[in-house]
Amino acid sequence: MTGAVILVVVKSVELGLPLWAVIGGIFFGSLLPDLDHPSSTIGKRVLFVSVPLAGLFGHRQFTHSIWPLILTIWLFNLTEHANGYVMVLMIGYMSHIIADMLTDSGVPLLWPVQKRFGITICKTGGVLEHIVAFGLLAVALIF
């Protein structure tokens, strides 16, 4: 996983993305999975998106599965038309999913199958969750 993150960041820099775009893209991408929560940092800014998503799927459902990433790869066909901006957004998105996998709630990676995947290191909403999430983001930015 770390190797993939490094590869994507290096590829993004090779594509000529400025560092601010890489950092900002990773940060913004890390907020996107919580679009399904109207009280989240991003959800409360786009209620016209977060309220319907919350009503349709609930929190930590579709947006916390592998499907948004697969859809993005399919839509942008990253293997042939690499787009650095999309890749840094995906790094941030994946960092959020990994961070949520470290909480006691886990994530339904194979949604709509409700089996939750994860390793419980901390409680959802706890201080340690924020520390772990910040640490993962810092690691992604450093490498």
Q: Phi and psi of 90, rounded to 5°?
A: -70, -35
Check residue 129 for interaction with Zn ion (CB under 5 A): no
> Is the bond into 112 cis (omega within 30 degrees of 0)?
yes
Check residue 36 for interaction with Zn ion (CB under 5 A): no
In the complex, least distance from residue 77 CB atom to Zn ion, rounded to whole angstroms? 27
Which is closer to Zn ion, CB of 33 or CB of 106? 33
Which is closer to Zn ion, CB of 15 or CB of 32? 32
In the complex, least distance from residue 33 CB atom to Zn ion, rounded to whole angstroms? 5
Which is closer to Zn ion, CB of 39 or CB of 77? 39
Q: What stretches of 32-83 show up as alpha helix (H) in DSSP?
A: 47-56, 67-76
Binding residue for Zn ion, selected from 9, 100, 102, 140, defined by CB under 5 A: 100
Stretch that binds Zn ion, among 8-16, 26-34, 79-87, 122-130 (CB under 5 A): 26-34
- Tokens representing 140 are 């992604």
Quick one: how many helices (H) and strands (E) in the chain? 6, 0
Give 50's Cβ-side CA count (13 Å radius): 19
Cα radius of gyration rounded to whole Å, the chain? 15
* Positions that interact with Zn ion (CB under 5 A): 33-34, 100
